[in-house]
Chain A
Amino acid sequence: MDEFAFGVLTNIALFSFLALSAYLLLIAGEMSFGQQAFFGVGAYAAGIGTAMWGWPLPLAAAFAMALGAGAAWLVGLPTIRLRGLYFAMATLAAAEMFRILFELLHYRREIDGDLVGPDGTQGFRGIRWVLERGFEPHEFLALVTAILALVLAGFALVARSRLGARIRMVGEDPELAAVFGVDVARLKLGVVAAAGALAALGGALYAHHNTYIEPRNFDIMLGVHSLAYGLIGGLGTAAGPLLGVLIDIGLLESLRVFQGWRMVVFGGLVAVLLIVRPRGLLDEAVVNRVKRAMSTR
Chain B
Amino acid sequence: MAADFAQNTLDGVMLGSAYALLALGFTLIFGVLRRANLAYGPAIMLGAYAATWVHLSFRPGLFALALVTIAGATLAGAYVERLCFAPHGRRTLSRDAAAIASMVGSFALWMQLEELATLWLPKHLYTFPPLYDGPPLALGPLTVRVEYLAMLACAAAACFGLHWLLSRTRFGLAVRAVVDQPDAARLAGVNVPRVYLAVFALASALGGLAGYLIVAAHEQVTPMLGMWSTLKGMIAMMLGGLGSLPGAVIGGLALGLLEAHSQWLAGPQYRDLVAYLLLFALLACRPAGLWSLLRGREPATA
User: Is A85 engaged at the interface, CB distance under 8 Å to the other chain?
Assistant: yes
Interface SS, B side: helix
User: Is A90 engaged at the interface, CB distance under 8 Å to the other chain?
Assistant: yes
Which one of B111, B112, B273, B302 has the greatest number of beta carbons of chain A within 10 Å?
B111
User: Is A227 engaged at the interface, CB distance under 8 Å to the other chain?
Assistant: yes
Size of the A side of the interface (Cβ < 8 Å), in residues, is: 42
Which residues of A (230-257) have their CB < 8 Å from a CB of B? 231-232
CA distance A78 to B113 in the complex (A): 35
A266 near B302: Cβ-Cβ < 8 Å = no
Query: Which segment, of B141-149, B160-168, B187-195, B280-288, faces chain A?
Result: B280-288
Q: B231 — which chain A residues lie within 8 A by C-beta?
A: 220
User: Is B181 engaged at the interface, CB distance under 8 Å to the other chain?
Assistant: no
User: Is B199 engaged at the interface, CB distance under 8 Å to the other chain?
Assistant: no
CA distance A260 to B120 in the complex (A): 11
B302 near A274: Cβ-Cβ < 8 Å = no
Question: Contact partner of B97 among A97, A269, A275, A278, CB < 8 A?
Answer: A278
Q: B111 — which chain A residues lie within 8 A by C-beta?
A: 263, 266-267
B101 near A274: Cβ-Cβ < 8 Å = yes
User: Is B4 engaged at the interface, CB distance under 8 Å to the other chain?
Assistant: no
Interface SS, A side: helix
User: Is A224 engaged at the interface, CB distance under 8 Å to the other chain?
Assistant: yes
Q: A84 — which chain B residues lie within 8 A by C-beta?
A: 96, 99, 302
B105 near A86: Cβ-Cβ < 8 Å = no
Q: A260 — which chain B residues lie within 8 A by C-beta?
A: 115, 119
User: Is B104 engaged at the interface, CB distance under 8 Å to the other chain?
Assistant: yes
Q: A86 — which chain B residues lie within 8 A by C-beta?
A: 238, 242, 283, 287, 302
User: Is A153 engaged at the interface, CB distance under 8 Å to the other chain?
Assistant: no
CA distance A82 to B15 in the complex (A): 29
B83 near A270: Cβ-Cβ < 8 Å = no
Q: A270 — which chain B residues lie within 8 A by C-beta?
A: 104-105, 108
B98 near A278: Cβ-Cβ < 8 Å = yes
A278 near B88: Cβ-Cβ < 8 Å = yes
User: Is B56 engaged at the interface, CB distance under 8 Å to the other chain?
Assistant: no
Q: Write the B91-116 contact mask toward A (1 if CB under 8 angstroms, else 0).
A: 01100111111001101111111111
User: Is A130 engaged at the interface, CB distance under 8 Å to the other chain?
Assistant: no
Q: Write the B231-261 contact mask toward A (1 if CB under 8 angstroms, else 0).
A: 1001100100010000000000000000000
- Given A84-B96, A271-B84, CB of A264 within 8 Å of CB of B116: yes
Question: Contact partner of A79 among B83, B104, B113, B284, CB < 8 A?
Answer: B284
Q: B105 — which chain A residues lie within 8 A by C-beta?
A: 270-271, 274-275
B99 near A89: Cβ-Cβ < 8 Å = no
- Given A85-B36, A85-B242, A228-B107, CB of A268 within 8 Å of CB of B112: yes
CA distance A191 to B132 in the complex (A): 54
Give the distance to chain A from B276, nearest Cβ to Cβ, in Å: 4
User: Is B173 engaged at the interface, CB distance under 8 Å to the other chain?
Assistant: no
CA distance A101 to B105 in the complex (A): 31
Question: Contact partner of A82 among B38, B110, B227, B287, CB < 8 A?
Answer: B287
B97 near A90: Cβ-Cβ < 8 Å = no
B114 near A263: Cβ-Cβ < 8 Å = yes
Give the distance to chain A from B52, nearest Cβ to Cβ, in Å: 19
A79 near B98: Cβ-Cβ < 8 Å = no
Q: B284 — which chain A residues lie within 8 A by C-beta?
A: 78-79, 82, 90
- Given A104-B269, A278-B93, CB of A262 within 8 Å of CB of B115: yes
CA distance A83 to B287 in the complex (A): 10
User: Is A151 engaged at the interface, CB distance under 8 Å to the other chain?
Assistant: no
Which residues of A (187-234) have their CB < 8 Å from a CB of B? 220-221, 224, 227-228, 231-232
CA distance A27 to B84 in the complex (A): 22
Residue of A nearest to B99 (CB): A84
User: Is A94 engaged at the interface, CB distance under 8 Å to the other chain?
Assistant: yes
CA distance A94 to B278 in the complex (A): 10
Which residues of A (55-98) have their CB < 8 Å from a CB of B? 78-79, 82-86, 88-90, 93-94, 96-97
User: Is A119 engaged at the interface, CB distance under 8 Å to the other chain?
Assistant: no
Give the distance to chain B from A118, nearest Cβ to Cβ, in Å: 14
Question: Contact partner of B119 among A93, A261, A269, A272, CB < 8 A?
Answer: A261
Question: Contact partner of A278 among B101, B227, B269, CB < 8 A?
Answer: B101
Residue of B nearest to A96 (CB): B276
What are 24 A-B contacts with C-beta separation under 8 Å? A79-B280, A79-B283, A82-B287, A86-B283, A86-B287, A89-B235, A90-B280, A94-B276, A100-B276, A231-B100, A261-B115, A263-B114, A264-B112, A266-B108, A266-B112, A267-B108, A267-B109, A270-B105, A274-B105, A275-B83, A275-B87, A275-B88, A278-B101, A279-B97
- 7 new A-B pairs (CB below 8 Å) besides A85-B36, A100-B269, A263-B114? A96-B272, A100-B273, A232-B104, A261-B115, A264-B112, A266-B111, A268-B108
